[in-house]
Structure 1
Amino acid sequence: MKFLVLIYGNPESRKVWDSLSDEQKREGMAGYTALHEALSASGELVASESLDDPDATVQVRIRGDQVMTTDGPFAEVKEQLAGFYLLDCESMERAVEIVPQIPEAPFSIVEIRPVRDLGALM
Protein backbone atom coordinates (compact mmCIF):
# COMPACT_ATOMS: atom_id res chain seq x y z
CA MET A 1 0.00 0.00 0.00
CA LYS A 2 1.16 3.52 -0.68
CA PHE A 3 0.99 6.27 1.91
CA LEU A 4 1.78 9.95 1.58
CA VAL A 5 3.42 11.31 4.72
CA LEU A 6 2.89 15.08 4.78
CA ILE A 7 5.12 17.19 7.01
CA TYR A 8 3.77 20.59 8.01
CA GLY A 9 5.89 23.42 9.36
CA ASN A 10 5.12 26.91 10.55
CA PRO A 11 6.92 30.26 10.63
CA GLU A 12 8.23 29.56 14.14
CA SER A 13 9.80 26.23 13.17
CA ARG A 14 11.37 27.88 10.09
CA LYS A 15 12.84 30.59 12.34
CA VAL A 16 14.33 27.90 14.58
CA TRP A 17 15.93 26.24 11.53
CA ASP A 18 17.25 29.59 10.26
CA SER A 19 18.79 30.32 13.67
CA LEU A 20 20.82 27.08 13.73
CA SER A 21 24.52 27.10 12.97
CA ASP A 22 25.75 25.40 9.80
CA GLU A 23 27.04 22.52 11.92
CA GLN A 24 23.64 22.09 13.62
CA LYS A 25 21.93 22.13 10.22
CA ARG A 26 24.34 19.44 8.94
CA GLU A 27 23.54 17.32 12.01
CA GLY A 28 19.82 17.74 11.39
CA MET A 29 20.21 16.79 7.74
CA ALA A 30 22.17 13.69 8.77
CA GLY A 31 18.97 12.40 10.39
CA TYR A 32 17.12 12.79 7.10
CA THR A 33 19.96 11.08 5.22
CA ALA A 34 19.87 8.12 7.61
CA LEU A 35 16.08 7.81 7.27
CA HIS A 36 16.29 8.06 3.47
CA GLU A 37 18.94 5.32 3.37
CA ALA A 38 16.98 3.03 5.71
CA LEU A 39 13.72 3.44 3.77
CA SER A 40 15.54 2.92 0.46
CA ALA A 41 17.19 -0.24 1.79
CA SER A 42 13.84 -1.62 2.99
CA GLY A 43 12.22 -0.81 -0.37
CA GLU A 44 9.61 1.41 1.29
CA LEU A 45 10.75 4.78 -0.10
CA VAL A 46 9.08 5.84 -3.34
CA ALA A 47 9.92 9.57 -3.16
CA SER A 48 10.81 12.25 -0.65
CA GLU A 49 11.22 16.00 -1.08
CA SER A 50 11.48 19.16 0.95
CA LEU A 51 9.30 21.97 -0.36
CA ASP A 52 10.36 25.58 -0.81
CA ASP A 53 8.94 28.39 1.29
CA PRO A 54 5.18 28.93 0.81
CA ASP A 55 5.92 32.46 -0.44
CA ALA A 56 7.32 30.85 -3.63
CA THR A 57 3.97 29.19 -4.39
CA VAL A 58 1.82 29.90 -7.43
CA GLN A 59 -1.83 28.87 -7.47
CA VAL A 60 -3.35 28.05 -10.87
CA ARG A 61 -7.08 28.19 -11.59
CA ILE A 62 -8.74 27.17 -14.85
CA ARG A 63 -12.08 28.84 -15.53
CA GLY A 64 -13.44 28.06 -18.96
CA ASP A 65 -10.54 28.69 -21.31
CA GLN A 66 -8.77 31.12 -18.97
CA VAL A 67 -5.69 30.19 -16.96
CA MET A 68 -5.28 32.46 -13.94
CA THR A 69 -2.35 32.48 -11.51
CA THR A 70 -2.02 34.00 -8.06
CA ASP A 71 1.05 34.29 -5.86
CA GLY A 72 1.02 32.39 -2.55
CA PRO A 73 0.74 31.45 0.20
CA PHE A 74 -2.98 30.84 0.18
CA ALA A 75 -4.07 28.88 3.22
CA GLU A 76 -5.16 31.00 6.16
CA VAL A 77 -3.40 28.70 8.61
CA LYS A 78 -0.15 28.82 10.49
CA GLU A 79 1.03 25.40 9.32
CA GLN A 80 2.13 25.03 5.70
CA LEU A 81 3.19 21.91 3.81
CA ALA A 82 6.98 21.70 4.18
CA GLY A 83 7.79 18.31 2.65
CA PHE A 84 6.67 14.76 2.10
CA TYR A 85 7.56 11.09 1.91
CA LEU A 86 5.75 8.78 -0.47
CA LEU A 87 6.02 5.32 1.06
CA ASP A 88 5.09 1.88 -0.19
CA CYS A 89 4.73 -0.15 3.00
CA GLU A 90 2.54 -2.95 4.31
CA SER A 91 0.10 -0.96 6.45
CA MET A 92 -0.91 2.31 8.04
CA GLU A 93 0.60 0.98 11.27
CA ARG A 94 4.00 0.63 9.55
CA ALA A 95 3.73 4.18 8.17
CA VAL A 96 2.99 5.43 11.70
CA GLU A 97 6.10 3.59 12.97
CA ILE A 98 8.23 5.52 10.47
CA VAL A 99 7.05 9.01 11.46
CA PRO A 100 9.06 9.27 14.74
CA GLN A 101 12.21 8.77 12.65
CA ILE A 102 11.56 12.03 10.77
CA PRO A 103 13.85 14.58 12.46
CA GLU A 104 11.31 17.39 12.09
CA ALA A 105 8.37 15.37 13.44
CA PRO A 106 8.70 16.54 17.08
CA PHE A 107 8.42 20.17 15.93
CA SER A 108 5.68 19.86 13.33
CA ILE A 109 2.44 18.19 12.40
CA VAL A 110 2.69 15.01 10.33
CA GLU A 111 -0.27 13.63 8.42
CA ILE A 112 -0.40 10.18 6.81
CA ARG A 113 -2.81 9.76 3.95
CA PRO A 114 -3.41 6.54 2.01
CA VAL A 115 -2.91 6.90 -1.75
CA ARG A 116 -5.85 5.76 -3.84
CA ASP A 117 -5.21 3.03 -6.40
CA LEU A 118 -7.06 4.20 -9.49
CA GLY A 119 -5.45 1.53 -11.69
CA ALA A 120 -8.67 -0.43 -11.99
CA LEU A 121 -10.35 2.60 -13.57
CA MET A 122 -7.81 2.93 -16.37
Structure 2
Amino acid sequence: MQYLALIYSEDGAGPKPGTPEWGAFMQGYASANKTFTEEGVMMGGEALQHTDTATSVRVRGGKVETMDGPFAETKERLGGYYLLDCKDLDQAIRMAALIPTAAHGTVELRPIMHVELPE
Protein backbone atom coordinates (compact mmCIF):
# COMPACT_ATOMS: atom_id res chain seq x y z
CA MET A 1 0.00 0.00 0.00
CA GLN A 2 1.26 3.45 -0.85
CA TYR A 3 1.27 6.18 1.79
CA LEU A 4 1.98 9.87 1.53
CA ALA A 5 3.88 11.06 4.60
CA LEU A 6 3.08 14.78 4.92
CA ILE A 7 5.63 16.60 7.08
CA TYR A 8 4.29 19.56 9.11
CA SER A 9 5.94 21.88 11.60
CA GLU A 10 5.51 25.38 13.00
CA ASP A 11 7.85 28.09 11.76
CA GLY A 12 10.74 28.37 14.19
CA ALA A 13 10.25 24.89 15.64
CA GLY A 14 13.21 22.57 15.52
CA PRO A 15 16.86 23.27 14.82
CA LYS A 16 17.96 26.48 13.13
CA PRO A 17 20.06 26.39 9.93
CA GLY A 18 23.74 26.99 10.57
CA THR A 19 23.72 25.49 14.07
CA PRO A 20 25.34 22.19 15.09
CA GLU A 21 21.82 20.89 15.81
CA TRP A 22 20.86 21.61 12.19
CA GLY A 23 23.67 19.37 10.95
CA ALA A 24 22.46 16.50 13.13
CA PHE A 25 18.86 17.15 12.03
CA MET A 26 19.79 16.96 8.34
CA GLN A 27 21.88 13.85 9.00
CA GLY A 28 18.69 12.35 10.42
CA TYR A 29 17.02 12.94 7.05
CA ALA A 30 19.96 11.32 5.24
CA SER A 31 19.66 8.33 7.58
CA ALA A 32 15.89 8.09 7.03
CA ASN A 33 16.38 8.27 3.24
CA LYS A 34 18.96 5.48 3.45
CA THR A 35 16.62 3.28 5.50
CA PHE A 36 13.68 3.95 3.15
CA THR A 37 15.85 2.96 0.19
CA GLU A 38 17.28 -0.15 1.90
CA GLU A 39 13.79 -1.32 2.90
CA GLY A 40 12.53 -0.70 -0.62
CA VAL A 41 9.73 1.67 0.42
CA MET A 42 11.06 4.94 -1.05
CA MET A 43 9.05 6.06 -4.07
CA GLY A 44 9.87 9.77 -3.83
CA GLY A 45 9.96 12.79 -1.61
CA GLU A 46 10.96 16.42 -1.57
CA ALA A 47 11.17 19.43 0.69
CA LEU A 48 8.85 22.28 -0.23
CA GLN A 49 9.61 25.98 -0.38
CA HIS A 50 8.08 28.14 2.36
CA THR A 51 4.33 28.73 2.32
CA ASP A 52 4.86 32.38 1.40
CA THR A 53 5.74 31.10 -2.11
CA ALA A 54 2.42 29.20 -2.44
CA THR A 55 -0.43 30.07 -4.77
CA SER A 56 -3.89 28.67 -4.10
CA VAL A 57 -6.16 28.08 -7.10
CA ARG A 58 -9.95 27.73 -7.11
CA VAL A 59 -12.57 27.68 -9.83
CA ARG A 60 -15.87 29.34 -8.84
CA GLY A 61 -18.67 29.85 -11.33
CA GLY A 62 -16.32 28.89 -14.15
CA LYS A 63 -13.85 31.62 -13.17
CA VAL A 64 -10.30 30.85 -12.02
CA GLU A 65 -9.42 32.57 -8.75
CA THR A 66 -5.92 32.67 -7.29
CA MET A 67 -4.57 33.89 -3.99
CA ASP A 68 -1.12 34.06 -2.51
CA GLY A 69 -0.26 31.60 0.20
CA PRO A 70 -1.83 28.37 1.38
CA PHE A 71 -5.60 28.02 1.62
CA ALA A 72 -5.69 26.88 5.24
CA GLU A 73 -4.67 29.10 8.14
CA THR A 74 -2.81 26.81 10.51
CA LYS A 75 0.12 27.04 12.91
CA GLU A 76 1.91 24.16 11.24
CA ARG A 77 2.91 24.35 7.61
CA LEU A 78 3.51 21.59 5.10
CA GLY A 79 7.28 21.48 4.60
CA GLY A 80 7.74 18.33 2.55
CA TYR A 81 6.60 14.82 1.84
CA TYR A 82 7.62 11.25 1.17
CA LEU A 83 5.76 8.76 -0.99
CA LEU A 84 6.31 5.36 0.62
CA ASP A 85 5.23 1.91 -0.56
CA CYS A 86 4.80 -0.08 2.66
CA LYS A 87 3.39 -3.55 3.28
CA ASP A 88 0.96 -2.17 5.89
CA LEU A 89 0.18 0.75 8.18
CA ASP A 90 2.50 -0.59 10.89
CA GLN A 91 5.49 -0.40 8.55
CA ALA A 92 4.39 3.07 7.38
CA ILE A 93 4.26 4.24 11.00
CA ARG A 94 7.75 2.83 11.67
CA MET A 95 9.06 4.68 8.60
CA ALA A 96 7.28 7.95 9.53
CA ALA A 97 8.83 7.82 12.99
CA LEU A 98 12.28 8.00 11.32
CA ILE A 99 11.49 11.42 9.81
CA PRO A 100 13.33 13.93 12.04
CA THR A 101 10.56 16.54 11.99
CA ALA A 102 8.32 14.05 13.84
CA ALA A 103 10.29 15.03 16.98
CA HIS A 104 8.96 18.62 16.95
CA GLY A 105 6.19 18.63 14.34
CA THR A 106 3.74 16.15 12.85
CA VAL A 107 3.98 13.53 10.13
CA GLU A 108 0.54 12.74 8.72
CA LEU A 109 0.22 9.42 6.90
CA ARG A 110 -2.40 9.28 4.17
CA PRO A 111 -3.08 6.12 2.15
CA ILE A 112 -3.06 6.72 -1.60
CA MET A 113 -6.46 6.14 -3.21
CA HIS A 114 -6.16 4.45 -6.58
CA VAL A 115 -9.12 5.35 -8.77
CA GLU A 116 -9.92 3.91 -12.16
CA LEU A 117 -10.72 6.78 -14.53
CA PRO A 118 -13.11 6.27 -17.42
CA GLU A 119 -11.54 6.30 -20.86
TM-score range, shorter chain: 0.7 to 0.9
Query: What amino acid maps onto 1:55 in structure 2?
Result: D
1:81 aligns with 2:78: yes
Is this contact kept in 1: 2:15–2:21, CA < 8 A? no
Among the aligned pairs, what percent are the same residue?
34
Q: Name 2:31's counterpart in structure 1.
A: 34
- What's 1:95 paired with? 92
Tell me the matched-pair count: 119
Q: In the alignment, what sits opposite 2:50?
A: 53
Q: How does 1:17-32 map to 2 (within 5 A)?
A: 17-18=15-16, 20-32=17-29
Gaps of 5+ in 1: none
* Structure 2: stretches of 5+ with no match in the other structure: none
Residue aligned with 2:97, SS: helix
| Partner SS state of residue 100, structure 2 | coil
Once superposed, what is the RMSD of the aligned Cα atoms? Answer: 2.0
Deviation at 1:64, TM superposition (A): 4.4
Structure-2 residue corresponding to 1:109? 106
1:78 to 1:101, Cα distance in 2 relative to 1, 3 A: same
Task: Quote the offset at 1:120 in angstroms.
Answer: 7.5
Conservation of the 8 A alpha-carbon contact between 2:41 and 2:86: yes
Helix, strand or coil for the counterpart of 1:110? strand
Cα distance in 1 between the residues matched to 2:100 and 2:112 = 23
